[in-house]
Amino acid sequence: MSMIAREAKHEAGREAGYEARTGVVSLHDHVVSLVAQRWARSFQCKVTIKPDAEKPGWAAGQHDPDIIGWQYSPAGNRVEWVAEVETEESLSHPQTRERLQDHAALGVPFYLFVPKGYRTVAQRVAMRAGIRLNGIYEYTFVNETFQLS
């Protein structure tokens, strides 16, 4: 078995084990939920998540952000900021650039969350997409405890 095949098998097993442990469909959706919970306590606005499973809705482009901070108004809800969670795999996906451009086009602060050690990769992706990010945060799990830096 090649090294790539072993890594793919290990990743599939890790993801299946993760799903069985947490009941969450994917690591991505779990991180989206954890970031949203943490940021909901930090901002004076409502926070809505859009896990991979549910994607119709808010954004002007084809892709909705993973996390949306917004204010209610009788005249219409107003998006305050958006955030996107990327995984190791999604950072190298060809559609990531287009998705990030859609989010940046909303004209509100835009934050990106990437696995620990991938900040430079995320900066390169953003630069190639021609977008400005308001912040890039790295996430990791240490002894199953979620950490942001």
CATH number of the domain to which 45 belongs: 3.40.1350
pLDDT of 111 reads 98
Residue 117 is assigned to a structural domain of this protein: yes
When mean pLDDT is compared across 30-44, 51-65, 90-104, 114-128, the lowest value belongs to 51-65
Residue 136 is assigned to a structural domain of this protein: yes
pLDDT of 64 reads 86
User: Rounded to whole angstroms, what are the CA distances from 23 to 4, 9, 20, 121, 144?
Assistant: 27, 20, 6, 30, 15
Instruction: Indicate the number of domains in the chain.
Output: 1
Residue 110 is assigned to a structural domain of this protein: yes
pLDDT of 62 reads 59
Residue indicated by tokens 């996107």 = 84
Residue 57 is assigned to a structural domain of this protein: yes
Range 3-12 average pLDDT: 39
pLDDT of 43 reads 82
pTM score of the predicted model: 0.78
What confidence tens digit (pLDDT) does each residue in 93-144 have?
A: 989 999 999 999 999 999 999 999 999 999 999 999 999 999 999 999 999 9
Helix intervals (H) in 1-149: 3-22, 27-42, 88-91, 96-104, 119-129
Residue 9 is assigned to a structural domain of this protein: no
Residue 98 is assigned to a structural domain of this protein: yes
Task: Write out the residue range of the structural domain in which residue 92 sits.
Answer: 26-148
Task: Say which residue, 18 or 78, is predicted with more confidence.
Answer: 78
Residue 12 is assigned to a structural domain of this protein: no
Residue 128 is assigned to a structural domain of this protein: yes
pLDDT of 51 reads 57
Q: For residue 89, is pLDDT > 70?
A: yes
> Please, what is the average pLDDT of the chain?
82
Quickly state the pLDDT bin for 12 (edges 50, 70, 90).
very low
Q: For residue 58, is pLDDT > 80?
A: no
CA triplet 138, 141, 142: central angle to 5 degrees? 120
